[in-house]
Amino acid sequence: MCGRFVAASPPDQIARYFDAVEEGEHALEPNYNVAPTHDVYAVLVDGGVRKLETLHWGLVPFWAKDPSVGNRMINARAETVATKNAYRKAFRKHRCIIPADGFYEWKAVPGQKAKQPFFIHRPDGEPMAFAGLWEVWRDPAQPDQELHSCTVITGEANEKMAAVHDRMPVMLPPSAWETWLDPDVQDADLLGKFLVPAPPELIELRPVSTEVNNVRNKGPHLLDAVEPAATQERLV
């Protein structure tokens, strides 16, 4: 799964990296502990233009009666995203990329109650490109009010990530971006080929403080490496 990630890069830098037009006037504050229901950046194609927009994390389908359903839809499983009612329409036409500087995952430690959090990032320091979906929800009571939301697609973990958790966000290589973002591409088999684990060499893992467990903590110190619990197995 993906329940926390880091989004600290400025929007103009993200837009250049993904060759997107920056939309909106208000930049998000750097956040080293992004949690569900927070606003996040997303790259999408709308009106034939690749844009960097701000979306609500937690997908709210167009048919939802109220936006609270999004609290349970922060992740979409790669195995069912093309067929599950909540996601299949967005999978056909509303795919996006959710940029991240890395993400967190927790590993159970034998003999200890608290899990050990890990920060997972690219060795080269470049942004991760999470595969995502986006939607527009309109309030039935106020049709002119729109909520733009998104979800992160997760799949099986690669060999390195499996030491901590059995799932991870789907990370798209640059060669897949144009096809993934194109709303005219609706071939589920073609799109499904992108929903695979990232190569192990594309990620590094390091243990970090349990301060990340509290969403009120959002500073860069959360990325500092710590000594893992003595009982924990060494990661390969």
> Structural domain of residue 130, as residue ranges?
5-102+124-196
What is the pLDDT at residue 229?
60
In a domain, 225, yes or no: no
Answer yes or no: is 190 within a domain: yes
The reply to whether 203 falls in a domain is no
pLDDT on residue 66: 87
Catalytic position from the list 2, 53, 96, 150: 2
231 domain-assigned: no
Sign of CA dihedral 78, 80, 83, 89: negative
pLDDT in the model for residue 34: 98
The verdict on residue 201 lying in a domain is no
pLDDT, residue 144, reads 81
Q: What is the pLDDT of residue 131?
A: 98
Q: What's the confidence (pLDDT) of residue 230? A: 41
Cα(73)–Cα(223) distance, rounded to whole angstroms?
A: 26
**Amino acid 231: pLDDT:** 34
pTM for this structure?
0.94
Catalytic residue among 53, 96, 105, 150: 105
Q: How far apart are CA 10 and CA 190, in angstroms?
A: 32
Is residue 37 a part of any domain in this protein? yes
pLDDT digits (tens, 9 = 90+) for 180-218: 999 999 999 999 999 999 999 999 999 999 999 999 999
pLDDT in tens, the chain (236 residues): 789 999 999 999 999 999 999 987 678 999 999 999 999 999 999 999 999 999 999 999 988 888 888 999 999 999 999 999 999 999 999 999 999 999 999 999 888 888 999 999 999 999 999 999 999 999 887 878 899 999 999 999 999 999 999 999 999 999 999 999 999 999 999 999 999 999 999 999 999 999 999 999 999 999 999 987 643 444 43
Q: How many domains does the chain have?
A: 1
The CB-based long-range contact list for 39-43 (8 Å cut-off, 24+ gap) reads 40/7, 40/98, 40/150, 41/7, 41/11, 41/14, 41/98, 41/99, 42/96, 42/97, 42/98, 42/99, 42/132, 42/134, 42/150, 43/14, 43/18, 43/96, 43/97, 43/98, 43/99, 43/129, 43/177, 43/181
Task: Specify whether the CB–CB gap between 194 and 131 falls below 8 A.
Answer: yes
Report the alpha-carbon distance of residue 34 to residue 218 in Å, rounded.
8
Structural domain includes residue 107: no
Contacting residues for 114 by C-beta, under 8 A, at least 6 apart: 210
What is the CATH classification number for the domain harbouring 25?
Answer: 3.90.1680.10
Say whether 2 is catalytic.
yes
- Identify the pLDDT of residue 25: 66
Domain membership of residue 152 (yes or no) is yes
Give yes or no for a contact between 194 and 172, defined as CB atoms under 8 angstroms apart: yes
Kindly give, in sequence order, each residue whose CB lies less than 8 Å from that of residue 4, ignoring residues fewer than 6 positions away. Answer: 33, 34, 35, 103, 104, 212, 215
pLDDT of residue 227: 87
